[in-house]
Copies of this chain bind each other. A is one copy, B any other.
């Protein structure tokens, strides 16, 4: 039996309606679908809204309409600049459509991803973008039951949860390895990122091995290293490979930062690249075009992945039928001076 709820209560639609001399419904419509309201009404409402600096409460709106305007995005690591351009383009497309983005990072952990997906769904996000393509059982169930559109972007899986926008890590790694073989390199080392719960890493290694077979080169397990990422790790890996004693002539790094670290190590030690050792990278970090020498790499259209993922979500939210989509954005080998 409260009276005017004097409390700190913020301004509501009802307040605006009263001051504008119209009904709350008219305020609601004037704000959301200005076209369905007469000019006179709209002006009255707009005036009151401006006068009070009114901001509609989207929480109430979402609850009432059973529709939210927030999309959830889970990446393995926010810090990794590799995801930045993808996040940016997702964000741009969403905002152009009045949607917001909650970003969370799973720290490369499956369990954490599951917890995040649950939290995001509890938040009733209207869509999800997941970079990882390996999920826990419960994670999959949650998504399925929630019925929100989902895009997976890390690897082009055969049978996505819902939609997938990516490239084939296997094909890409294989193509680069074959490319090195064609250039004449015979002892090609490979440095992979951690394989645990990460199909992208696994696929890349599989691609490397498949390429060796195709090239008719022997697999030397001493030439395959796992590194956790970071400049130092790349430098270390390179040095360890060089010390194997084998006459290694090229190294393919499955991560751009690793390759960069290795290149700097070469500069420090005065090892000629590619004379003494050739270096190839994965992912076209802008930097790789500027170093001396410039670095041969695999270019993946990260921004395009983000853009198209967001577009798929937006279309779905606009009513597009829920069909399984699988978009291959491809990749490109960029031959530069390091090989």
Interface residues of chain A, those whose CB is within 8 Å of chain B, are 8, 10, 53, 55-60, 62-63, 68, 70, 77-81, 84-85, 87-88, 91, 95, 100-105, 118-124, 138, 141-142, 145-147, 230-231, 235, 260-261, 264, 267-268, 286-287, 289-292
What is the minimal beta-carbon distance from A126 to any residue of chain B, in angstroms? 11
The answer to whether B88 touches A105 (Cβ under 8 A) is: yes
Task: Name the residue on B nearest A9 (C-beta).
Answer: B66
User: How many monomers of this chain does the complex have?
Assistant: 2
Chain B residue contacts of A84, Cβ below 8 A:
78-81, 84
The answer to whether A100 touches B123 (Cβ under 8 A) is: yes
Task: Name the residue on B nearest A94 (C-beta).
Answer: B104
Given contacts A78-B87, A84-B84, A264-B290, contact A59 B63 (CB under 8 A): yes
Alpha-carbon distance A146/B8, docked complex (angstroms): 11
The answer to whether B53 touches A59 (Cβ under 8 A) is: no
Chain B residue contacts of A291, Cβ below 8 A:
264, 267
Task: Name the residue on B nearest A82 (C-beta).
Answer: B81
The answer to whether A101 touches B100 (Cβ under 8 A) is: no
Given contacts A57-B124, A79-B87, A231-B286, 10 further A-B contacts (CB under 8 A): A70-B123, A80-B84, A100-B119, A100-B120, A100-B123, A102-B102, A231-B289, A231-B290, A267-B291, A268-B292
Alpha-carbon distance A122/B53, docked complex (angstroms): 11
The answer to whether B100 touches A58 (Cβ under 8 A) is: no
Chain B residue contacts of A88, Cβ below 8 A:
77-79, 105
Closest 8 CB pairs of A and B: A81-B81, A267-B292, A264-B290, A55-B122, A79-B88, A78-B88, A79-B84, A58-B122
